[in-house]
Amino acid sequence: MSLEAESQKEYKDPENVVVQDVENVYRPDVDISGVDERKLMRRIDWHVVPWLAVLYLLNFLDRGNIGNAKLYGMTEDLHITDKQYLVALTVFFFPYSLLEPPSNLALKRLRPSMWLSFIMLVWGIAMTLHGVVTNYAGLVGLRVLLGLAEAGLYPGIVFYMSCWYKSNELGSRVGVFFSSATIAGAFSGLLAAAIHNMDGVGGKPGWAWIFILEGLVTVVCALASFFILSDFPDTAKFLTETERVWVIRRLQADMKFSAGGEKFKMKYVWQTITDWKTWLAMGIYMGFDGPLFAFSLFTPTIINQLGYKATAANLLSVPVYAWACIMTVVIGFLGDRVKTRAWINLGLFGSGLVGYIILICSKNPSLSYFAVYLAASSIYPTIPNSVAWVSSNVEGSYKRSAVLAMAIGWGNLNGAVTSNVYRAVDKPWYRLGHGIVLAYIAIGWLCSLGYYLYLRRENAAREKGERDEVIDGVENKHAREENGHFTSIEAARSEKGDQWSGFRYSL
């Protein structure tokens, strides 16, 4: 019997599991026949997704509000040059990117409710202090601290959600969660325009109150998160013991065999580094994260330089982000339904290429403003689709956390580049900046194509039996010693993760 047939025999939908081999069923002593799937998944959604969306909204709002503050005279009041402003933006990304992998490992070892709440509290305090800074050195120091604190949130949330949902459910949930980033973009402009009316209150300029008020809201939400955030499925307090078993069995039936628990081993880090998928995933993330930071930091400035005043520029960015929000949610649900995320990625990156080509060539403000919509509808929806695609093709909770952290960290590190591409000397059309962002999107398109071709070739090889391991007691004419020799299928699956011959990649 082939390993694939054996695997299909053992893993059925968890609602219908019949315990035949206690070695391969999580908690075989627990009867899950009475669990109502629709009702329980709705409850899980309400406990997991909404609060994470709130946290990421605050994260994105706090990270990008410096762009709004700049329009209201921050650089003039602090007596910093355009080059110094770009340096202040850049230094944020180095700690933000480099600390993401260790932060994800810390999240796995600690409780999400503790780790995510703690880092949120630190960045809320850092954001509040932006409002009392008086010089360039203070601004740079606070941007570094903000990068240190914010590093763990996004990769941590993505990994955390992948521990709750099947691969064909993750895209829509990440889409809803990530839509908060587009809401933050729209809300940022409206909020900045409103808060600026406090100019002079307490002897502080309007831009300072943007930082102070938004930072204090983050601090309050961080304290609430200690009590609101749930932990992983096997320990979540809002689930009964039977419901925890049901969730873990359905994840294992979706090839997330480590859902029942996994001990950290250094080999998982090595597997991550030596896996070609990791490096292609990093290229995909580079393709949308670089443009994302450039877009979120400079959209008000770009619109401002097209001939609109500061408040008008902030307000005109609102419908752009509203459109991006709609597209993000639609693509998230579409990806879960059609289950061909590669073609969605290629199409979205393609529309981004068109948008930035128009921005490079256009000298018409109205046409350029239209191209901004194309760019937004490309950059933002690509993120949840790529997150779901990459995470569904990595098995092993520690390996998945490391892959996501490396990919997201590398993508965010490129924010250090794209936060410097829109120079004041290039206004009003910023063709150099648009050209660099165009190159990033092209890299994302090529890496998405390479990722798809690699997965398709590997699936074909496994269908032919070319990756079959030698399993004691299992007759298999395709089995090869170079693929590994194991005492049982369970041992092969646990040891090799997504490299196991019975694992199938999603395209």
d(CA 85, CA 80): 7
pLDDT of amino acid 440: 95
Cβ contact 146:127 at 8 Å:
yes
CA atoms within 13 A on the CB side of 197: 4
pLDDT of amino acid 22: 39
| 73 DSSP 8-state letter | T
d(CA 202, CA 205): 9
Q: Which of 155, 159, 173 is nearest to 384 (CA)?
A: 173
- Per-position pLDDT tens, the chain of length 507: 444 444 433 433 333 333 334 345 677 777 778 888 889 999 999 999 899 988 888 887 887 788 888 888 898 899 998 889 888 888 888 888 888 888 887 887 788 889 999 999 999 999 999 999 989 999 999 999 999 998 888 888 888 888 888 878 888 888 887 787 777 766 777 788 788 888 888 888 988 999 999 999 999 999 999 999 988 888 888 888 898 889 888 887 776 655 555 566 777 778 888 899 999 999 999 999 889 888 876 776 666 666 666 666 667 777 888 888 889 889 988 888 887 899 999 999 999 999 999 989 988 878 888 888 999 889 989 988 998 899 889 887 778 888 888 898 898 888 778 877 887 788 778 889 899 999 999 999 999 999 999 999 999 999 998 888 888 888 888 888 888 888 888 788 878 888 888 888 988
pLDDT of amino acid 445: 96
CA atoms within 13 A on the CB side of 344: 28
| Angle value at C-alpha 492, between 488 and 494, nearest 5 degrees | 110
pLDDT of amino acid 309: 64
Cβ contact 224:121 at 8 Å:
no
pLDDT of amino acid 310: 62
pLDDT of amino acid 13: 38
Say which residues have a Cβ less than 8 Å from residue 47's Cβ, sequence separation at least 6. 230, 236, 238
pLDDT of amino acid 146: 92
d(CA 351, CA 399): 32
pLDDT of amino acid 262: 58
The first and second tokens of residue 340, run together, are 């061909």
pLDDT of amino acid 40: 92
pTM: 0.76
pLDDT of amino acid 257: 56
pLDDT of amino acid 271: 81
